[in-house]
Amino acid sequence: MSPGGSGLSVGDEVEVEVTAFAHGGHCVARHDGQVLFVRHTLPGERVLARVTEVGSGSRFVRADAVEVRHASDDRVVQPCPWSGPGACGGCDLQHVSLDAQRRLKAGVVREQMARLAHLEVDVEVEPVPGDDRGLRWRTRVEFAVDGAGNAGLRRHRSHEVVPVDRCRIATDAVTALEVTGRDWPGAEAVDAVAPSGGPAVAVEVPGEEVPEVLERVSTSWRSAHGPVSFAREFAVSARGFWQVHPGAAATFLAAAMEPLAVRPGERVLDLYCGVGLFASALSEAVGPGGQVVAVEADRDAVERATRDLSSLGNVAVVAGRVDDLFGVPRTDRHRGRSRSRRPARSPLLPQSADVVVLDPPRTGAGTAVVRAVAATGPRAVAYVACDPAALARDTAAFLAAGYRLASLRAFDAFPMTHHVECVAHFVPAGA
């Protein structure tokens, strides 16, 4: 028996009917009234599920589908032998056809928007150029290293290292580094990076100074004044943030910029700006009479953005957390207690903005930041989101602040996984 009395314990195997695909890469099933979150299965299947974890108070049970007794028509033979129950945890959907993966992800976006923002949206998940049917697309892979110096990938929800031969979703350049075929004594991890602007590198962690790599972005979109072409190089730390799909940066930039229709002379806020991908394009769009204020908390990214954008003349890079700079209270954990920090609003942020672009971390911007963004009175907001639940929560905050969702696009920037990237646009409700 499990501690909470659900009747299921780790290691138990039960036959279940799978009903739905849920946010997080698992499907939902029930056994004697108990909800199971089951990986490696599909809606409509009947599987033998092995319990891998029982939540506190038996609020949930996690399980793996170890045998398929009735298969979905969307099931395929997984291209990677290391994907499956008890193996590498990096890919959730290797057993699903690529078209079905995108349908499932679109369903998650719709469900999260309906549940958390109370909006019915019609969205499809679009492919991103630069992968081979969902494989050989990942340009950055962090390999874990075990105590013996062997590199591999971690099991799902575990620190245990699976000694894979290679990663099937990694680019050929990453594979050519042969990280898993070498010994890494003393290392905790190895980052394999194949940038668009130079040779691939393997970075040992911990190790010596992290090298710099170049990423090239070339894309186009249509503005209010006609077609726009954009091309630029960005210097990024090999361990810094950059989109891992080779076509993602260009795709997201065009998807964000086109509906904004940025005008010359406007003032723009670029929040969570990283090394300045959006800020660079916004700088060109507003021209010498406009202004871009780019905000970033990561010290390395701030240094690079400041160096690379200083020559543009109309971009100011501000270092700091977005919530702190807006003067938004936040709660930190300190010695087991909550304490509220109430910073003053930074004078470096303008009181008003014509356009706002934000690309927050997976947790989202949060209601208080959304309110602060809305208070600047932008005529248009572009929100780039890597988590549909966080986007839906922040969408609800925008609606409450007097904005409406004008458009929403979703992209399959992480094939074979449950992750999906969205680009949303908001405008004042009366616009």
Q: How far is CA 127 from the centre of its chain?
A: 15
* CB-based contacts of 71, cutoff 8 Å, min separation 6: 42, 45
Residues 258 and 284: beta-carbon distance below 8 Å: no
- In terms of Cα–Cα distance, which of 56, 54, 24, 23 is closest to 36? 54
Catalytic residue among 80, 88, 91, 386: 386
Q: What is the DSSP string of 316-385?
A: EEEES-HHHHTT--EEEEETTEEEEE-PPPPTTS-S--SEEEE---TT---HHHHHHHHHT--SEEEEEE
Q: Which amino acid is residue 381, in one-letter code?
A: V
* CB-based contacts of 222, cutoff 8 Å, min separation 6: 228, 258
Distance CA 388, CA 365 (A): 12
Q: Which amino acid is residue 283, in one-letter code?
A: S
Residues 409 and 242: beta-carbon distance below 8 Å: no
Q: Residue 428: phi, psi to the nearest 5?
A: -55, 145
Distance CA 387, CA 367 (A): 15
The count of C-alpha atoms lying within 13 angstroms of the C-alpha of 38, restricted to the half-sphere facing its C-beta, is 32
Distance CA 34, CA 63 (A): 12
Q: How far is CA 104 from the centre of its chain?
A: 17
Catalytic residue check, 273: no
Q: Tokens in use for 230?
A: 């954009």
Per the rule left: phi > 0, alpha: psi between -120 and 50, beta: everything else, 113 is alpha
> E strands of 71-200, at which residues?
125-127, 140-145, 151-154, 161-162, 189-193
Supply the residues annotated as catalytic: 386
